[in-house]
Every structure is written in C-alpha cells, then in structure tokens.
Amino acid sequence: MTTRDRRRRVTIADVARHAGVSTTAVSKVLRSAYGVSPAMRERVRAAIDELGYRPHAAARAMRGRTYTIGVLLPDLRNPFFPDILDGLYGHLAATDYQVIIVTGGPDAKTETRAIDALVDRQVDGMLLVAPRVPRARLEEVAGGPPTVVLGPHEKSAVYDAVLDDDEIGAELVVRHLIGLGHRRIAHIGQREGTRGRAAAMLHTIRAVTYERVMREHGLEDEIAVALTSYSEEGGYRGARELLGRSPRPTAIFAGADLAAFGALTALHEAGLAVPADMSLAGYDNTRLAALSDISLTSVDQDGGVMGRTAGRLLLERIEGRTSSVHFSVTPTLVPRRSTAPPPPG
Amino acid sequence: MTTRDRRRRVTIADVARHAGVSTTAVSKVLRSAYGVSPAMRERVRAAIDELGYRPHAAARAMRGRTYTIGVLLPDLRNPFFPDILDGLYGHLAATDYQVIIVTGGPDAKTETRAIDALVDRQVDGMLLVAPRVPRARLEEVAGGPPTVVLGPHEKSAVYDAVLDDDEIGAELVVRHLIGLGHRRIAHIGQREGTRGRAAAMLHTIRAVTYERVMREHGLEDEIAVALTSYSEEGGYRGARELLGRSPRPTAIFAGADLAAFGALTALHEAGLAVPADMSLAGYDNTRLAALSDISLTSVDQDGGVMGRTAGRLLLERIEGRTSSVHFSVTPTLVPRRSTAPPPPG
C-alpha cells in the first residue's frame, strides 16, 4: 500500500528535478517526441524508474493521449502473428506506448465489436491485421485513431497499408513445385468471408496467382482448389477433400503454414508419406515449419519487418503525418524437405 | 458517416421500446445480471443488433463499468494460451464483455508495466496467466479490479486461483517413463525469474516433483536438470546441455510442449531419432503435439476448462462475490509415439 501511495504522489516535476532537466524535456521523452538525445532519454527514464512514476495515467490527463496502441488479430493460434507483434514491440520498446490486443473472432460481426472495443478504449493508434470488415468500415474507423492495416492489398487515403507481395510469394511456391516436376498441384485456400473486396484479400491473391501460374504452364486442367480456412482444422478438411480426387494430386500448396500442419495430419491418416508420396508447401515460414520433424517448405514474408514498420508508421501518424503510406515486403522461398520430385508413374 | 451518426443517437430507451421491454430489463441484459430469461436476452440482443446500439460506451457511462476483461499472457507463442482464451471467450460470449490482452514481456519489470496498463485502462476484471511479479504486488493489484490468477499454487484472500495440479501431471510423466524402463531421465525446466515465491510457481513444482519421483524410485544419481525457459529456444538449449552429459540420458521430460519442440530440433541436429534413441515428453497437450509427425507424449491440463472457469469466477466477483475461490484441474497423461522403451544397452 505504501508503494501505491508513494507512486500516486510522484509528479512530472519530481521526475524533472530528480533527473536535473526541465519538465518540458520530461514531457518530450514521455511522448517520444523527436529531438531528444539518447542521453537525455536515458536520464529521464532512470529517474522515472527510481521514483516509480507512472507516466501513462498522468500523461493521458496531461496530453489527451492514452499511450496505447490497439492491435486486432484474427486469432491467437496462427504462429505468424507473434512474429509481427515482436517487430511492433521492438519498435515501441523505447517509447511509453503499451500494446493491447483484441481478437476478431469467427466473423465480421464479432470483428466489428472487437474494433469498436479498441476505439471505445481510446487507443492512440490501431494496427488491424488481416481485417474482414468492409473497406468502407475501415475508412470510417481510420477517421478516428491513426490506423495501419496489415494484409489487404488496398490503397487508402486515410490509413497506411503494410503488406506482403502475395503474388510473388505464391508464384515462388508454384514455380518451385513445377520445377520439381509436379503437374497435379492442388491449393488449400481460405473461403471468402467478406463482401465486395475479395480481390484485395491476401488469401484471394494467393489462390488467384496459383491458378494463373498453373495456366501459364499449360496446367489449367490440373487446377484443384479446396477453400476452407487458414487454420489447422481448415488444412485438415482441405487435404481430405483434395485426397478424394482421382487422380490424386502429387503436391499441395497450403496458403498458410498453419493449414499445412492440419494437412499433414490428414496425409498421415491416409497413409501418405511427405514428400515421398506427396509434396507439401506452406506460407509464412513460421518457426514450427523449421522443426526438423516437419521441415516444411514455406514463404518467408518477414513478419518482424512488417511489425516494426507498422509501429513506425503509427507513431508518425500520431505525431501528425496525414499522407498515406503503402509499404510492401518482397517475400522469399525457403525450400525444405517437405517438397521433392513427384513419385514415379 | 450516416451509420456512425445514427449509431450515436441510439439510446437504451430506443432499445427498450424496440424490444418491447422496460429499460431496466435492457440494463439487466447489458450487465449480464442474474434473473434474465433466455427469451428476454434474445429479444434485447436482437433489438441491439437491429438498431446498431453500442452498449459498451453507453453502459460504461451509465454504470461505471467498461465491460472489459483484461488478460495478461506471458507471451503469444505458447500454443497452450489460446486454449485458455478459447475457454474464456466461450464463457463471455453471451455477455457484453470484451477481452483485451497484454503480454508480460521478458521480465518482471515489463510485466509490471503491462499489468499497470490494464489497471489504467480501467478493466472490470483481470485474468493474470502465470504472472512473475511478487505475490505482494499481485495482492495490491487485486485490491483494484477483481482478479483471477492462473498458474501459481498460491491461496489468497483477495484473488481467485485457477490452476493445474502440476504435481500429479509431472508424476504421471516421470512414472510413465520409468514404467517404460528408462532410468536416465532428464528434465528441462524454467529458470526462476521471481524472488521469494519459487515454491509456488508451476515450473518449480514440475521440476521438484520430477526429482522427488526419481528419488522414490532409487534414481537419485540419474537426476539431470537443465534450467532454461518454456520456449522453443529454451528447449533447444536445454536439450543441447543434457546431450553433453556422459552417459547421455535416454529420455527427456520437457516442462512444456513448446520446450519439447525446441528439444526435437536439438535431438535431430545431434542425429538422434525419437523415440528409438531418445524418448521425449512434454506438458500442455497442445494441438501441435498431436500432429502425427511430432506425436508427442504430453500432459493434458484442459486449458478450455481453466479459461471457462476463470471467466465464471471473474463475472461472479464483478457481481459482488468477495470470498476467494481456489480451483484445481487434475491433469491426465496422453501417451503418444515420442515415448518408448530405451534402446538396448
């Protein structure tokens, strides 16, 4: 209790006195403004720590800011999302911003509620990862707190976009499989859950690119797509569907590593070995894809860079930038043991 | 914009009129009070949806509540945590509560900041998963919003505790390995990061139980513990350390599935096959443990039940319960292909 009482009494003036700097300087450090030297930041931070000053609540009252970045994630299971957040945390580590996370839930309705919850909590900025709500709603939301949207291939005048070049990524995978000698290459994608913006969604782009590359190689008759979801369960159902075809595909490109993990289970239940009977590739290059028991060929879109960039763009917007930025990462292929030439015959 | 303006004008009285009920009834549904019939809830919810009423902000002003549950997770990588959250979401689905998540970061200092951030955001209740801050700090925090602490084996008069019986869980694993004929059984644990409450931490209990069961079977000379962390990287380093011993262990019990995944990589790099050369078991029974390429023997502590229970206890406390509850889940062993008798010799 004493600690709490003492904390309550510490003011920005105490911090300034303790650090031997002006209150303006402390305030600058608190709002992570430009033009603060690393030495100054260090001194003020040391004083804050020693006195147990809680900058959030005080700064909020003082500057009308909450020092909160709200993040929407579709779910907490896709191991790619923590890569994005590690990048974001890394960029915010030297600031007083805290991150709060909400999950979008099963449909656009629950996602709308989750985004509303961030707005109601008066966050200073929002990072929306792969949102499903209509674009008009995104623009309306971004009229409030500064917003970065990660995933959809959309340009907007009111929010910044951070994305992976999914066309290049999908092309890399399909060409890799064709190069290994596969012709019956199937795809597990995500069923469209949004209206009116399908073409901009990353899962649509991966699926459409798969079909385009197949056609470019004269393989239009071999196109086979199972639309489920980018989840383990979706990958499992997708692979089961594709295995029912005759003749069976010799390779599967799953639109996300998580779906590839689910596909693995279905392949094993069917008594098929990877890659001897079936090649399998994913997307996201999650850490688990690198596990030697899985060793999944995948596409690396560098979530860390995407998260760091999103953090930088948000702080810039909070500081007043009003122009919109469009940042695209060029992905690379990481070939592993899960892909090999097709079985003979 | 029209949507937004329209939304702003909808009041609780509009909802009551539209649903044909009293404003008191609407208010009861909004705060998920007892004594509301399912039919009444259904009617009010339909009216809320049709009118686009946003209960959070309005209810907050009206009742001094934010309809927010704050959750602290140590990190977003451990695939066990989403199981807990699915349980929590399931319990809250029929209410107006939204969940916001913060992560504890690398140490007790960043964790303190994260918990402060929840308190500053005026959450109505908090679920703290495996917190590392000292118990005194937890009790201080729980003096504010109603709090449930998940993980540590501590009883408190001010917060509720939800936990897994880690002693039974660890015993199940070690006895299983001994039953298969192993003697040189090693353990990968988590290095203590907290002061003054080591004995209550779940990772300590798993490690201490491992040593006790080894001694009870006359295997005290075979005890080998690597203390790193419950992460992939920690499991990797732990396994490397244990492989340096001579003679080498024939089985490893990793305190968490995530650490077991990291250990798998180290074993493969060393050219060892699981389970032919080395048995491996984890803890948490994550979905990935069930993947047939991994097929990891693990302990199921039913995160869904823990999360649902935490949600129920939080709502009870928000409604006024002041007595403290201690809820323990009895875990079960899920044997899979990663454990087998030791190699001959």
pLDDT digit string, tens, across residues B65-115: 788 999 999 999 999 999 999 999 999 988 889 999 999 988 888 999 899
- pLDDT class for B224, splitting at 50, 70, 90? very high
Entry pTM: 0.82
Where do the H-state alpha helices sit in chain A? 2-9, 12-19, 23-30, 38-51, 55-63, 81-92, 108-120, 135-142, 166-179, 202-216, 232-243, 257-269, 303-318
pLDDT of residue B160: 96
User: Could you say which DSSP state residue A288 is in?
Assistant: G
Q: Do A232 and B287 touch (CB under 8 A)?
A: yes
Report CB contact under 8 Å: A117, B68: yes
Mean pLDDT of chain B: 89
> Looking at the DSSP assignment, which residues form a beta bridge with residue A126?
A70, A147
Q: Look up the ipTM and state it.
A: 0.80
Counting one residue from chain A and one from chain B, the pairs whose CB atoms sit within 8 A come to: 110
How far does the CA of residue A217 sit from the closest CA of chain B (Å)? 33
Is B1-51 a CATH 1.10.260.40 domain? yes
Q: Which class for A61: exposed (0-12), middle (13-18), buried (19 or more C-beta within 10 A)? A: exposed
CATH superfamily assigned to domain B68-164+302-330? Response regulator (3.40.50.2300)
Of B57, B102, B265, nearest to A98 by CB-CB distance is B102
The CA-atom distances, in angstroms, between A66 and each of A56, A62, A63, A322, B113 are 7, 10, 9, 20, 14
Q: How far apart are CA A128 and CA A149, in angstroms?
A: 5
Q: How far is CA B255 from CA B189, B209, B280, B337, in A?
A: 5, 11, 11, 18
Provide the sign of the torsion angle of the four alpha carbons A223, A225, A230, A234, taken in this order: negative
From residue A25, give the alpha-carbon distance in Å to each of A14, A30, A39, A50, B75.
13, 9, 12, 17, 33
Write the DSSP assignment of B87-106 as a string of letters.
HHHHHHTTSS-EEEEEE--S
Contact list in B for residue A72 (CB cut-off 8 A) is: none
B192 band by pLDDT with thresholds 50, 70 and 90? confident
Each as own residue / partner, the long-range contacts of residues A36-42 (CB below 8 Å, 24 or more positions apart, any chain) are A41/A94
CB contact (8 A) between residue A292 and residue B113: no
For residue A197, what pLDDT is reported? 59
Nearest to A148 by CA among A31, A308, A302: A308
- CA A166 → CA A113, A286, A324, B235, B250, distances in Å? 28, 16, 21, 33, 45
Give the DSSP letter of residue B198.
G
Contact assignment for B54 to A120 by CB distance below 8 Å: yes
Minimal C-alpha gap between B217 and chain A (Å): 33
Give the SS3 label for residue A296: coil
Contact residues on chain B for A280, CB-CB shorter than 8 A: none
- From-to residues of CATH 1.10.260.40 in chain A: 1-51
Whether the predicted pLDDT of B299 surpasses 60: yes
Six token digits for residue B156: 């408190």
Lay out the sheet containing B185-190: strands in order across: B224-228, B185-190, B251-254, B279-281
Where chain A has pLDDT below 50, the residues are 1-8, 58-59, 61-62
Q: What is the DSSP letter of B216?
A: H
Beta bridge partner(s), residue B190: B228
Pick the CATH number of B166-301 from 2.60.40.1290, 3.30.420.40, 3.30.470.20, 3.40.50.2300: 3.40.50.2300
Binned at pLDDT 50, 70 and 90, residue B193 comes out as low
Q: CATH 3.40.50.2300 in chain B, residues?
A: 68-164+302-330, 166-301
CB atoms within 10 A of CB B9: 10
* Helix, coil or strand: residue B129: strand
Contact criterion met (CB < 8 Å) for B292 and A268: yes
| Contact across the interface for A120 and B261, Cβ inside 8 Å | no
pLDDT of residue B5: 42
The two three-digit tokens of residue A294, written as one number: 């899985």
Q: Which two tokens stand for residue A240?
A: 């089961």
| pLDDT over 50 (residue B3) | no
Q: Note the pLDDT tens digit of each residue in B305-339.
A: 999 999 999 999 998 999 999 999 999 999 999 99
